[in-house]
Structure 1
Amino acid sequence: MRSKGERLRRRRSAGSRLSTGSASELQQYSELLHASPTNPYAPFDSKIDWEVARWAKLRGPGSNAMTELLKIEGVCDSLGLSFKDTDALNRMIDNLPGRPAFKREEVVIADEAFEVYHRDVIECIRALYGDPEFAKDLILLPERHYADADKTIRMYSDMHTGKWWWNTQKAVERETPGATIVPVIISSDKTQVTLFGNKTAYPIYMTIGNLPKEIRRKPSQGGHVLLGYLPTTRLEHIVNKASRRRTLANLFHSCVSRILRPLKKAGEFGVPMASGDGIYRRLHPIFATFVGDYPEQLLVTGIKTGECPKCPVPHNELGEYGDRDKLRDIEQVLNALSSITDGNPLVFVKACAAAGIKPVQHPFWEGLPYVDIFQTITPDILHQLYQGVMKHIISWVTKACGAAEVDARCRRFPPNHSIRLFTKGISTLSRVTGREHSQMCQILLGLVVDVCLPDGHSTATLIKAVRAILDFCYLAQYPAHTDETLNHLDEALQQFHQAKHIFVLLGIRSDFNIPKLHSLLHYIASIKCFGTTDNYNTEYTERLHIDFTKDAYRATNHKDEYPQMTKWLTRREKVLRHEKYIKWRVAGCPPPDVPQTDGMPDPRDLGSRPHLRMTRHPTVKAVPVSTVKLQYGAQFFEAAFARFVVQYHEPRWTAFQVEQAAANIYLPFQRLPVFHKIKFWIKDPFHRGLGSETSDAVHCSSIWA
């Protein structure tokens, strides 16, 4: 179905090319490398030389252990290695071309200097946009998708199907026709890097909406870039807590402003950049969405704790079903922020208070073009739904039904496909993860069916409330939405608000003024603006902490760690980039569509994964065939097994031929091992090429079990 994005391109030449036929990114890499015409592995002498280097940087032990291995007599000579220790290997890798290097800067706040390590954001965008593996997948123009031939039912999926890209494209086209929008997606979150103690890191990540969400949400695809590390100081020397909070907020915005400052000019006037196929376009990188949990959202927007970071609803009305499309007035906020230039601090503080924000000095988004910071705040499935709303609902249900009854019902659940059994109950669990809350949601409705509530209250209202919020939870995670499914999402939220009073009648709640519960009102507007929620789920960036922060910290000596972490990450990226180049050289053509990861099986290489997986040892050993027939219900086991043997050897035979041959099959055993669980994967029946499969499991047990 033709989209209106195509008509926009013809009318305004949006996304037009500046030049064609330029050298691709890999060709430019080859020139920078001064590549050898005969040795594709250069600067490494041979394939084994490169393979050992790659293993040492991506999978190998620490630097000292690697040096000790190489110093064993005969190892280097036997393998023909060009490096004798880790320092020599590091010097070879440091000379390879790579992504933009990290730089250290000092930010002075309250007469105190803080270190911030960051990269050039424009060069990071250039690296992502120019990656040859993403060239065929890049999205250059907004589109309108419809679910019907009459184009009356709008469909939303990827970011380019939402209204924000469409509206921004038209706004930029009015000033500079022929523009290509690059939606910049920023995420930041503190993370613990040690199991004991209190050592934290504060990474900030970036990706671009031109990459399909199937690429952005998989860390193995390399669709995210680490922009830098922000200071993690607590400013404990500032005794006044309010002053400390203001200083921390100013420190955050000052650091992020330093990192994102190049987006102001580039977003307004554009920057020529080449995609991986060598085609140049004028790109306008524009800050589109911020992905973060509730504290990060408040820090970014400058809103007080306990309030909504998107709309001006009072705190005592957060629990009501209200206007879901109303946002804070960005013009009023910008005018209040500009009053700081008057030189009167009291006027600035009062203006910010009237606008409903904290008195933050020059937030990082203040001068960025085409940015409404309250619109950029997006839903968060992990922290808002599972770790927020559903966490509260599970707690309320446990109090309503009684912890002992809930745990007893959990223990009575029979085995089910892809459902976790909480054999010890859920009331005593501590430090519950988002995945565990998701697993609890799968059985939550079964926990409240026919339960006896105190004081004779109706169970029907409780079931209605639980079912409505579960409907909302699962509808909100649809990978594609239409106007009709969004109406169902809204209806589910309305039904929950109509039935939530049951928790008040049971004495569990007195009000529902919870910011995360209120945030559910904004899901529909965000989906219409930026596409479905799997475009900006914090679950993806939480996974990035492992690769970009935790593993990097473990590779240091834990003293003055940031220079070591940035150097470790830079070398790792160079090795991965050189691997792509080698495959391109060895194949004699552009690199394959399937990206290479750091040694792990690629998630899109579905043919390499076995579609059945069983435990190494059977559940029960040496079970007689007669027992299999009687106690496991496999009454026709011998006949079915005989047909399987024939079909395995002669897969093209007809059913009649198989039956005839199976009659002559003799089973040379009377006992066999039995597995009570088999895990398997199902391919996408629609062949959409999303690179994912559905996992499931088969459970069986003896009638005596």
Structure 2
Amino acid sequence: MLQLPVSSLVSLRFCSFKLTRKPGRPCDEEGTVLPYGAPPPPPSSGSQNDWTPYQDRVAFELAELLYKKEQMSAGNIDALLQLWSASLLAHGDSPPFRNHNDLYDTIDDTVVGSVSWSCFSLAYDGPRPSGATPSWMSDKHTIYYRDPRALAVNMLGNPGFKSEIMFGPTRQFGHDGRRILRDFMGGDWAWKQADLIAELPDAQDSSFIPIVLGSDKTTVSVATGQNEYYPVYLSIGNVCNSVRRAHRDAVTLVAFLACPKSNKKHANSADFRKFRRQLFHSSLSRILRSLRSEMTEPVIVRCGDGHFRKIFFGLGPYIADYPEQALVASVVQGWCPICTAPNKDLDGEDANRRPRSITDYMVREFELGALWEDYGIVGDVVPFTNDFPRADIHELVAPDILHQLIKGIFKDHLVTWVEKYLTRTFGDAKAAEVVTEIDRRIAVVPPFSKLRHFHEGRGFKQWTGDDSKALMKASRLEYRPGLCTD
């Protein structure tokens, strides 16, 4: 895969050309590369009599009848199974389930969908105060997750992706020689990772599968009593962006992280803040550990086109808004997770990128206070990426398009800046009058195809991503002199 010269694979397509590193060649189940043009092996058909975890078809249909259709109470289930058992004693046989607990346990073992959910718990194990112990130090924090390796393999094996998935990095150029950046595998990062993997044993004719992660803590208030949820999402970088945007199972939920809570007395304590950070990183490291060994040793999987291929996994971009980026990269709020530039001097001469090697060196050599104040590094929390090969969190952090570009730049920056400018320039009364006129002009924009109509302008409280994108289109009004004059 990865040792072929760049110039050796050039294909012309519609007056453009694409440089492609030799993608993972199809092989058999033992890893032997197949000749070019060889058809894929026939799919393996599962047994039609496999009703696992149920004994047989009768047990499955009985469980469906009692639990789903009739929704029978536990007491009645026990009574029914006891009568059934009594009728079978003469024949030395027994019913499909012993009691309602056996029925419920079997239902819980049923795999729903492609990958079942599991859980583990983490707890604080550091020093405790001599007096009263805060509740968060004694609580067990449960994390629910699905095996990320199984999810990634299922995406690779999805037949719907077979013509929209890339098994090697590419560089595409237009007819004018300018670079075309369209899909993730067409970027420089994937190309560099392929160079690193090429140095590993058994890397010949293999493919690189980057794992793309994203998270965003949210609060659900409807019928839940303001519960916090911390979902983590997973995708693979090989599928085309059009597939991911079309919601065709190329992005899936991989975990729900724990949300530790404390009373107001301890909520802002240094120990609790450190525990929350480390709980986040330790949870992700535990969730992703099934991928670790296959980042340095290849594994053979079946892909959506029916062929087997030898692949290497790797951690890819982590998509998050800024507060989440600071947490993921273990940097202080207000500092950049990618470079060392202070927020008040972004173009400073001393600003450099934050490679993992330099950060690790500084953590070893500097005091925690100096790291925090002078370099914006949270030195007592280890990023989860340090547990995986070729993973540098400062390279993997990716912007959240919704929060940082669409809502961040347009609503939180541009709209807010305009409102503050009007207030500072004309005063509250005149600024309100100007904003009202802006809303009126937005409201009278004539209807047009794919243009949303805002009947009351932009004066709504909760902006969604669709609201922001639609308002960007409606706000492209021709400047009219006199709008902001006395």
So what's the TM-score if we normalise by structure 1? 0.51
Match status 1:329 vs 2:342: no
Q: Deviations over 1:566-587 (max 9, x none)?
A: xxxxxxxxxxxxxxxxxxxxxx
What residue in structure 2 maps to residue 306 of structure 1? 334
Cα distance in 2, alignment partners of residues 438 and 422 from structure 1: 12
Cα distance in 1, alignment partners of residues 275 and 106 from structure 2: 41
C-alpha distance 351-16 of structure 1, shift in aligned 2 (>3 A): farther
What residue in structure 2 maps to residue 394 of structure 1? 415
Paired residues of 2:162 and 2:304 also in contact (CA < 8 A) = yes
Cα distance in 1, alignment partners of residues 260 and 44 from structure 2: 44
Match status 1:174 vs 2:205: no
C-alpha distance 262-349 of structure 1, shift in aligned 2 (>3 A): farther
Q: Deviations over 1:493-536 (max 9, x none)?
A: xxxxxxxxxxxxxxxxxxxxxxxxxxxxxxxxxxxxxxxxxxxx
What residue in structure 1 maps to residue 391 of structure 2? 371
Cα distance in 1, alignment partners of residues 321 and 408 from structure 2: 10
Structure 2 unaligned segments of length 5 or more: list them: 1-10, 77-99, 127-136, 423-430
C-alpha distance 277-353 of structure 1, shift in aligned 2 (>3 A): same
C-alpha distance 395-240 of structure 1, shift in aligned 2 (>3 A): closer
C-alpha distance 242-280 of structure 1, shift in aligned 2 (>3 A): same
In structure 1, what residue type is equivalent to 2:249?
G
Match status 1:99 vs 2:114: yes
In structure 1, what residue type is equivalent to 2:452?
R
Q: Deviation of residue 450 (structure 1)?
A: 2.6
Alignment match of 1:439 (pick from 470, 473, 477): 470
State how many pairs are aligned. 407
Cα distance in 1, alignment partners of residues 482 and 466 from structure 2: 26
Alignment match of 1:409 (pick from 435, 441, 452): 441
Alignment match of 1:67 (pick from 67, 71, 91): 71
What residue in structure 1 maps to residue 123 of structure 2? 108
Cα distance in 2, alignment partners of residues 142 and 357 from structure 1: 33
C-alpha distance 417-100 of structure 1, shift in aligned 2 (>3 A): closer
Match status 1:27 vs 2:69: no
Q: Deviation of residue 132 (structure 1)?
A: 3.4
C-alpha distance 276-441 of structure 1, shift in aligned 2 (>3 A): closer
What residue in structure 2 maps to residue 158 of structure 1? 183
Paired residues of 1:260 and 1:364 also in contact (CA < 8 A) = no
Q: 5 Å matches for 1:102-501?
A: 102-109=117-124, 110=126, 111-112=137-138, 113-148=140-175, 152-176=177-201, 177-178=203-204, 179-195=206-222, 197-219=225-247, 221-236=248-263, 238-318=266-346, 327-337=353-363, 347=367, 350-351=370-371, 355-391=375-411, 392-398=413-419, 400=422, 402-426=434-458, 428-446=459-477, 448-454=479-485
So what's the TM-score if we normalise by structure 2? 0.72
Paired residues of 1:253 and 1:363 also in contact (CA < 8 A) = yes
Greater share of residues in helix: 1
Cα distance in 2, alignment partners of residues 240 and 396 from structure 1: 31
Cα distance in 1, alignment partners of residues 398 and 390 from structure 2: 17
Paired residues of 1:186 and 1:204 also in contact (CA < 8 A) = yes
Paired residues of 2:386 and 2:392 also in contact (CA < 8 A) = no
What secondary structure does 1:445 align onto? coil
* Deviates further, 428-437 or 13-22: 13-22
Q: Deviations over 1:649-670 (max 9, x none)?
A: xxxxxxxxxxxxxxxxxxxxxx
What residue in structure 2 maps to residue 529 of structure 1? none
Paired residues of 2:335 and 2:376 also in contact (CA < 8 A) = no
Q: 5 Å matches for 1:617-696?
A: none
In structure 2, what residue type is equivalent to 1:375?
E
What secondary structure does 2:399 align onto? coil
In structure 2, what residue type is equivalent to 1:67?
Q
In structure 2, what residue type is equivalent to 1:294?
Y
What secondary structure does 2:281 align onto? helix
In structure 1, what residue type is equivalent to 2:44?
Q
Q: Deviation of residue 314 (structure 1)?
A: 1.1
Aligned-pair identity in percent equals 25
Q: Deviations over 1:187-246 (max 9, x none)?
A: 111222332631121111111112222222233x22223222110122336354333222
What residue in structure 1 maps to residue 88 of structure 2? none
Cα distance in 1, alignment partners of residues 288 and 339 from structure 2: 25
Q: Deviation of residue 446 (structure 1)?
A: 1.0
Q: Deviations over 1:229-281 (max 9, x none)?
A: 11012233635433322221111111111112333322122322222444332
Paired residues of 1:108 and 1:114 also in contact (CA < 8 A) = yes
C-alpha distance 447-394 of structure 1, shift in aligned 2 (>3 A): farther
What residue in structure 2 maps to residue 646 of structure 1? none
* Deviates further, 437-446 or 383-392: 437-446
Q: Deviations over 1:533-572 (max 9, x none)?
A: xxxxxxxxxxxxxxxxxxxxxxxxxxxxxxxxxxxxxxxx
C-alpha distance 337-276 of structure 1, shift in aligned 2 (>3 A): farther
Q: Deviation of residue 64 (structure 1)?
A: 7.3
Cα distance in 1, alignment partners of residues 293 and 441 from structure 2: 60
Cα distance in 2, alignment partners of residues 155 and 202 from structure 1: 35
Structure 1 unaligned segments of length 5 or more: list them: 37-41, 57-62, 72-84, 340-345, 456-705
C-alpha distance 238-93 of structure 1, shift in aligned 2 (>3 A): closer
C-alpha distance 245-96 of structure 1, shift in aligned 2 (>3 A): closer
Cα distance in 1, alignment partners of residues 304 and 444 from structure 2: 56
